Structure 1
Amino acid sequence: MGSIRNRLLGSLLGGTTAVLLVAAFFSYRAGLQEAGEMFDAKLAHSARVLMSLVDEPLSDLADHPGNPIEVKVWHGNASGVGEALAFATGHAYETKLAFQVRDAAGKILLRSDSGPRTGIAPLVPGYGDAVFNGERWRTFTLKTPTGRWYQSAEQSAIRNELAEDIAFGTMMPLLIALPILALLVWLVVSWVTRTIQDVSDAVALKDPGQLDPIVLAKVPVEVHGIVQSINGLLRRLKEALLRERRFTVDVAHELRTPLAALKVHAFNVRQAPSPEERAQSQSYLDDSIKRMERLVSQMLMLSRLESRERKPQMERIDLSIVANRYCRDYSALASAEGKTLSMSASSVSILGEELAIDALVRNLLDNALRYSTTPGAMSLRVFRDADSAVLVVEDSGPGITEAARHRVFERFYRELGTGVEGSGLGLSIVAEAVSLHRARIVMDDSPELGGLRVTVTFEAV
């Protein structure tokens, strides 16, 4: 769907530029209009002064004894802006401008009828402020080399009015454009971020039973990483839920028969008519409890190894040390059953999780002990082969047919006709440990003992 950043930049910059260009155009026109009004008035006033100076020279004052030359200005009433204030005979702003010409003694030689009959300002060159005709005026006085003083004045009110009109005319289009621009930005951002809101809604409305991933094709580039992480979480949750459901179903199925047997043996213990029968029932009850304990322990171990949410604590492990530790225990058990356990272990290390490696070695030895003939033999070897660490466990039992070797790693699968009781979880635990360590496991016939040979190959460190 493209980039949110690019879409926001393109939309906002394009929209903002368009709105501001229109606003600037109207501001520019308003400024020109107000400035034009002022300069029109100045132009008209200058033209009148020039006309008066040319037509009635100041040197010819004999025709006007004692009286200054008076320049008439336009005194009509007008309101509005622009052309509404301009006429063929003058401009409405003329009455707000005044000028005088005075001689060296301060006598007024020429004046506009919009100004006072007395001096506009003191005879001091430069700018000043004055009050006459009930209004404040800004004045400017200029002295010529001939000794005459030229004074002009502009009503402060008109100066402020023009400045305010220009500023207001400049600001008004922008002020009008501001809410339009805000609305445009809101609409654009809402449109662009709608897809993000859709992702949020999709996550919020996810049914616990429907953990399908969110489709990335409908998601902006910037949130692909977030959505992929959410999809990964959904996938792991789905796997965990399926695993827990399967585990619950398996537990319910596998515990049904042992629990029924426990109830029967407990009933027989209570109802036994003689001490001999009671002792026999008690022995059966003890055996059932042991089988139940082993089954529950193996199921919990399998559940823990299968849990992908836990982070395995990998560390350097010497396989020979683990093999020695368990061989001591199983040698005693094998001797008690009339069997032998031989071991040959060279020091070789792997990166592994101690809990999983212990479970792997223990279950391989346990299976070898359980399925070996009586009298019989078992062997365990640990050695390095190039860059690999190899663990080999062999027994003198009946072995596993080649057709069944791919199925024995399934939980609760048991080969019929072995005459050995079991839960079918031992090799499932081994398979999970092998998968956790990215190792390789191979089953074949033992050339020395005649039973099963299991070879597990790890990467050595």
Structure 2
Amino acid sequence: MLVGLIGVMSLVMLVAGAFSYLAGLQEAGEMFDAKLAHSSRVLMSLVDVPLGELDDRGDTGEPLVVAVWQGAAQGVGEALAFPTGHAYETKLAFQVRDPGGRLLLRSDSGPDTALAPLEPGFADVVIGGEHWRSFTLRSPGGRWYQSAELADIRAELAGDIAEGTLLPLLLAIPLMALLIWALVGWSLRGLQRVSGEVEVRAFDRLEPLQADGVPREVQGLVAAINRLLARLDAAFQRERRFTADAAHELRTPVAALRVHAENLRGTSDAVERAAIQRQVEAAVQRVERLVEQLLQLSRVEPGVPGRAPRRVDLQALAQAHVDERRALDGGRGLAIELDDANCEVTGDEAALDALVGNLLDNACRYAPDGGTVRVRTLRDGDRALLVVEDSGPGIPEDARERVFERFHRELGTGVLGSGLGLSIVRQVLDLHGGTILLDTSPALGGLRATVSLPAAAPVAGQDQGNEGVPATR
């Protein structure tokens, strides 16, 4: 930026100097042309009558020669002017000629030959290798009055003007560069401070950058970096929390699995071996379930990028999970009922699938052998409802909010679990703007979980007659 600013300013100054030179040359030419014309008119007014008297007497002698002061001086400006004259007088000349072109009067600073053709007006001529600028004027009596000057006067004056204009500008460039450098450095001191802060900051320090004193032009950038740091900090917090939770929760089932394996290796009794094998299988299932739920939890954490929202049929998800639970009943004799009603929402299908699966899994776990689990999907205005009921022991009213905490399990239920199911449900609902209500099922006596989600906009021509509670199958 400094190089660009100084370069542009220098270029502008040089261009301005060039225009000043051209303007000075033009102004000098106009001024000298006016002076030449004025000199010719003054000369005519002063000598035309006396010359006429000489003509009347018939004087045809040598022309009169007017001596010009020949003083000289070294220097510029006022150093060329003296009380007795000016050094530039030798560069000026004048002549007077009769109507026939005979020389009547001249200055000794000019040549004997005509200063220009005997035609009224301005002319540029070369005499003796020197360039002259002349003006010719004819009097009423027919005499020719000519004033001329050497062309180098104009070039010298224009050069003086350009030098007087350019020299201060050229001398100002270093000072300007110093001032710009100081100003830019002072303006960017806040940005340099932020850069230094980022340079020395440890990788795990994600606090926002201090934007005090930062130039207004980069405050948006600093704010964007701070938002990025906040997102990174949230992501790292999620990763640390997930790692800590996984390590804490896996420690016990893995230790139990190790104990069962050692017991299995140390026994030779067939009955005891079969019992230990069943314990190993149960421990493996518990670890498998815990790992599965931990992975689900990591996918539905707030701030984790999800898939593109799409229309999802809650009834289809519920049907798939009900079919799976029936296949895995394991001889418990559970009656799993599902109301057949189309009910669509918009969201992440995988997350909504985890929500339905965890609610149904909890209901089946806590329902007694031979008990009943009922799943219903329905639409109520602009809300889609998913209701899961079971005939289990339910949850005391004072514990219904605690069960959404991670790894919280109510004591005395006799059911093994990780305490993550309802936590996953709550996070999925937070991502989709939904709610959940836990209460007692009026029909089955156990827990009833009612999930409410924004319903998907109806498709044109779709039958909306499915609202309400359909028949149970």
Q: TM-score range by the shorter chain?
A: 0.7 to 0.9
**TM-aligned CA deviation for residue 284 of structure 1:** 2.2
> Is the alpha carbon distance of 1:305 and 1:142 closer, same or farther for their aligned partners in structure 2, counting shifts above 3 Å?
same
Q: Which residue of 2 aligns with 1:241?
A: 236
Residue 441 (structure 1) shift:
0.6
Q: Residue in 1 aligned with 2:303?
A: 308
Which of 123, 127, 130 is the matching residue for 1:131?
Answer: 127
Task: Answer whether contact 2:124 2:133 (CA < 8 A) is retained.
Answer: yes
CA contact (8 A) 2:95 2:147 kept: yes
In the TM superposition, what is the alpha-carbon distance from 1:270 to its structure 2 partner? Answer: 2.3
How many Å apart are 1:262 and its aligned residue?
Answer: 2.0
- Deviations along 1:375-405, one digit per CA (max 9) or x if unpaired, are 3221111112222111111112221122221
CA contact (8 A) 2:71 2:87 kept: yes
Assess, with a 3 A threshold, how the Cα gap between structure 1 residues 311 and 232 changes in structure 2: closer, same or farther: farther
CA, structure 1 residues 386+120, in 2 after alignment: closer, same or farther (shift >3 Å)? closer
Query: For 1:122-147, what per-residue CA distance to the aligned partner results, in whole angstroms no more than 9, with x for missing partners?
Result: 54555131223x64333333444433
Q: Tell me by how many angstroms 1:212 deviates.
A: 1.6
1:164 is the counterpart of 2:162: no
Residue of 413, 417, 421 corresponding to 1:422: 417
Alignment of 1:356 with 2:351, yes or no, is yes
Deviations, residues 405-451 of structure 1 (Å, cap 9, x unaligned)? 11111111111111111111111111111111110111112222222
Consecutive unaligned residues of structure 1, counting only runs of 5 or more, are: 1-11
Q: State the partner residue of 2:47.
A: 53
1: distance between equivalents of 2:411 and 2:436?
Answer: 23
Q: Matched residues, percent identical?
A: 52
- Structure 1 counterpart of 2:465: none
Corresponding residue SS for 1:382: strand
Task: Please give the alpha-carbon distance, in whole angstroms, between the structure 2 residues aligned to 1:217 and 1:400.
Answer: 53
> 1:37, CA displacement in angstroms?
10
Task: Name the residue aligned to 1:401.
Answer: 396
Q: Secondary structure at the match of 1:336?
A: coil
Distance 1:78 1:246 in 2: 94
Whether 2:363 is the aligned partner of 1:368: answer yes
**Alpha-carbon shift at residue 362 of structure 1 (Å):** 0.9
Measured in 1, the distance between the counterparts of 2:174 and 2:104 equals 57
Contact 1:128 1:140 in 2 (8 A): no
Normalising by structure 1, we get a TM-score of 0.84
Kindly report which structure 2 residues correspond to 1:311-390, keeping only aligned pairs within 5 A, or say none: 311-334=306-329, 336-390=331-385
Q: Partners of 2:165 and 2:222 in 1: how far apart?
A: 48
SS in 2 for 1:211: coil
Taking the aligned partners of 1:83 and 1:185, their CA distance within structure 2 comes to 37
Q: Structure 1's 122 and 453: CA in aligned 2 closer, same or farther, altered over 3 A?
A: closer
Q: For the structure 1 residues 333 and 136, does the alpha-carbon distance in structure 2 shift closer, same or farther, using more than 3 Å as the test?
A: closer
Seen in structure 2, the aligned counterparts of structure 1 residues 387 and 105 have a Cα distance that, compared at 3 Å, is closer
CA deviation after TM superposition for structure 1 residue 56, in Å:
5.0
Deviation at 1:308, TM superposition (A): 1.6
Q: Which amino acid aligns with 1:458?
A: L
The TM-score with structure 2 as length reference comes to 0.82
1:287–1:443: structure 2 CA closer, same or farther, 3 Å change rule?
same
Cα distance in 2 between the residues matched to 1:320 and 1:109: 125
Change in CA separation of 1:166 and 1:85 when aligned onto 2, cut-off 3 Å = same
The Cα of 1:202 is off from its aligned counterpart by 4.1
> 1:331 corresponds to which letter in structure 2?
R
Q: Which residue of 1 aligns with 2:65?
A: 70
Give, in whole Å, the separation in 2 of the partners of 1:290 and 1:79: 111
In structure 1, the partner of 2:111 is 116
Provide Cα deviations, 1:331-370, integer angstroms capped at 9, x if missing partner: 3444720222222242221112111111111111111111
Write the deviation string for residues 228-255 of structure 1: whole angstroms up to 9, x where unpaired.
3222211111111111111111111111
Question: Are 1:99 and 1:152, in contact at CA under 8 Å, matched by a contact in 2?
Answer: yes
1:259 is matched with which residue?
254
Alignment-derived partner of residue 7 in structure 1: none
SS in 1 for 2:339: strand
Say if 2:436 is the partner of 1:441: yes
Relative to 1, partners in 2 of residues 1:166 and 1:39: Cα closer, same or farther, differing over 3 Å?
farther
Provide Cα deviations, 1:247-306, integer angstroms capped at 9, x if missing partner: 111111111122222222222222222333333333322222221111111111111111
Residues 37 and 88 (structure 1), Cα distance of their counterparts in 2 relative to 1, 3 Å cut: farther
Q: Partner amino acid for 1:78? A: A
For 1:348, the aligned partner's letter is C
**Counterparts of 2:113 and 2:436, CA distance in 1:** 120
The answer (yes or no) to whether the contact 2:363–2:390 under 8 Å persists in 1 is yes
Task: Supply the distance in 2 between the matched residues of 1:89 and 1:57 (Cα, whole angstroms).
Answer: 27
Alpha-carbon distance in structure 2 between the residues aligned to 1:363 and 1:435: 16
The answer (yes or no) to whether the contact 1:44–1:90 under 8 Å persists in 2 is: no
Q: 1:38 deviation in Å?
A: 6.6
Per-residue deviation, 1:94: 0.9
| Number of residue pairs the alignment of both structures matches | 438
Q: Quick one: distance in 2 between partners of 1:342 and 1:376?
A: 11
Mean Cα deviation higher: 325-334 or 248-257: 325-334
Distance 1:322 1:37, change over 3 A: closer
**Match of 1:5?**
none
Instruction: Identify unmatched segments of 5+ residues in structure 2.
Output: 457-473
**Residue in 1 aligned with 2:224?**
229
Deviation of residue 92 (structure 1)?
1.5
The equivalent position to 1:79 in structure 2, one of 74, 81, 89, is 74
Residue 213 of structure 1: how far off its partner (Å): 1.8
1:459 to 434, 454, 459: 454
Are residues 324 and 430 of structure 1, via their aligned partners in 2, closer, same or farther at CA, if it must alter by over 3 Å? same
Could you tell me how far apart the structure 1 residues matched to 2:209 and 2:178 are? 32
Among 144, 152, 155, which residue is 2:150 paired with?
A: 155
* Alpha-carbon distance between aligned partners in 2 of 1:121 and 1:344, rounded to the nearest angstrom: 119
Q: Residue 323 of structure 1 contacts residue 345 of structure 1 at CA under 8 Å; is this kept in 2?
A: no
| 2:336 alignment partner, SS class | strand
Q: Distance in 1 between matches of 2:344 and 2:401?
A: 28
